[in-house]
Amino acid sequence: MGKVKFSTGNSKMGAIPSVSLPAKKTCRACACWEKCYAAKLERLRPSVRNAYQNNLDVYREEKDGYWREVEGQIMLSRFFRFHVSGDIPDAYYFTRMLDVAARNPHCQILCFTKQYDIVNTVLYKQSPDGMAHLPDNLHLIFSAWPGLQMDNPHHFPEAHVLFKDGTTTASPDARPCSGNCSECAVTDSGCWTLKEGEQIVFKEH
């Protein structure tokens, strides 16, 4: 079995390490697939597609090994992002995300997700009082898309898209994305500091 492939950053992320999974295969069905930049990148760059598929294969065949490697990377990082491509594939995965974040409070961890049901189900099982108890360093943001029903009982921060035609599902007071994750990370701003009920809006790729 191969090792987990990490990214050390890109033009938008800056020098923030991340781990990704294949687009669509780990995502819920959504009209966003028609505009998915990650899926387009996988089509254009076989090496990227192979790296993402490798990570999913490692996770499926050796879950403990996958999480040992991910936690090893997080232990060495101040900032980390889950899933520049792909999403939380199942409840066990999200449970391990919570555990890893709790053991590594020195690292600020960012994750966008449309897997609302997985997140809500895991948190309810862990907290029957209905209150979300995330580690303080895990910044979980629910990603919105037109026509996709978002169940957000914990009022997690939300990410919305400003489309090229000027339409958006974001509220008027949503924060605009600055365009560079690492810049926001080191200046303690942007997605890293969103509070309950707040929104950020990204321009369509």
pLDDT tens digits, one per residue of 16-71: 999 999 999 999 989 888 888 887 877 888 999 999 999 999 999 999 999 999 99
Residue in 163, 160, 166, 169 with CA at minimum distance from that of residue 200: 160
- Give the separation between CA 147 and CA 134, rounded to whole angstroms: 27
User: By the 8 A CB rule, do 7 and 38 touch?
Assistant: no
Residue 195 buriedness (CB in 10 A; 0-12 / 13-18 / 19+)? exposed
The tens digit of pLDDT for each residue in 69-126 reads 999 999 999 999 999 999 999 999 999 999 999 999 999 999 999 999 999 999 988 8
pLDDT in tens, 136-174: 999 999 999 999 999 999 999 999 999 999 899 999 999
State the sign of the Cα–Cα–Cα–Cα dihedral 119, 11, 186, 202.
negative
Helix orientation angle between 63-75 and 91-103, rounded to the nearest 10 degrees: 30
pLDDT level of residue 188 (50, 70, 90 thresholds): low
Sketch the domain layout of the chain as residue ranges: 6-203
Three-class SS string for the chain?
CCCCCEECCECCCECCCEECCCCCCCCCCCHHHHHCHHHHHHHHCHHHHHHHHHHHHHHHHCHHHHHHHHHHHHHCCCEEEECCCCCCCCHHHHHHHHHHHHHCCCCEEEEEECCHHHHHHHHHHHCCCCCCCCCCCEEEEEECCCCCCCCCCCCCCEEEEECCCCCECCCCCCEECCCCHHHHHHCCCHHHHCCCCCEEEEECC
pLDDT of residue 160: 95
